[in-house]
């Protein structure tokens, strides 16, 4: 999906983020997974305003509900703005993201946008079947150990 106006936005991801040499004043994360939470929490502790937008009803969907809820509470106590069921629509200019929650269109200002949504494991070409390793679309299956 391509968003109108995205070419004017300072786009970051989990690889080029580390090339930043100035601390963002405000940063928004698209996607409520582990990358957004870990980097977002670090940045809020360094004095940045942090928002996390996710299209699902809660962030950290990879965790069980109790853990996800607990972590969400902790992040909100640290002043991270969490916007669930928020759908990115477009970018008005270089620092304004337009999103919807329900039927309402809202805007969010940020110096940078870190996109951490839609990541999938790259296991193609690994011949996992030959090694007897079980996998699915989410990645390699593991056990409790």
pLDDT tens, 58-110?
Answer: 999 989 999 999 999 999 999 999 999 999 999 888 889 999 999 999 999 99
User: Above 90 in pLDDT, residue 118?
Assistant: no
Domains of the chain listed by start with CATH number: 6-120 (3.50.50.60)
Laid out side by side, the sheet with 49-53 consists of 11-12, 112-115, 26-30, 49-53, 81-83
Q: Among 125, 141, 143, which residue's Cα sits nearest to residue 133?
A: 141
User: Above 90 in pLDDT, residue 138?
Assistant: no
- What's residue 6's pLDDT? 79
pLDDT tens, 6-21?
Answer: 787 888 988 899 999 9
- What's residue 43's pLDDT? 97
Does the model's pTM come out above 0.85?
no
């Amino acid at each position: 999906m391509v968003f109108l106006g995205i070419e004017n936005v300072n786009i970051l991801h989990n690889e080029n983020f580390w090339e930043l040499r100035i601390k963002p004043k405000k940063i928004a994360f698209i996607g409520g997974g582990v990358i957004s939470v870990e980097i977002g929490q670090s940045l809020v502790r360094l004095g940045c305003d942090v928002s996390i937008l996710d299209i699902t009803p809660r962030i950290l969907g990879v965790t069980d509900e109790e853990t996800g809820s607990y972590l969400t509470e902790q992040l909100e106590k640290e002043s991270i703005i969490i916007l669930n069921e928020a759908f990115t629509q477009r970018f008005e200019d270089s620092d304004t993201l337009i999103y919807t929650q329900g039927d309402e269109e809202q805007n969010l200002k940020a110096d940078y946008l870190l996109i951490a949504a839609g990541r999938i494991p790259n296991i193609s070409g690994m011949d996992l079947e030959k090694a007897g390793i079980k996998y699915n679309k989410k990645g390699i299956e593991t056990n409790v150990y």
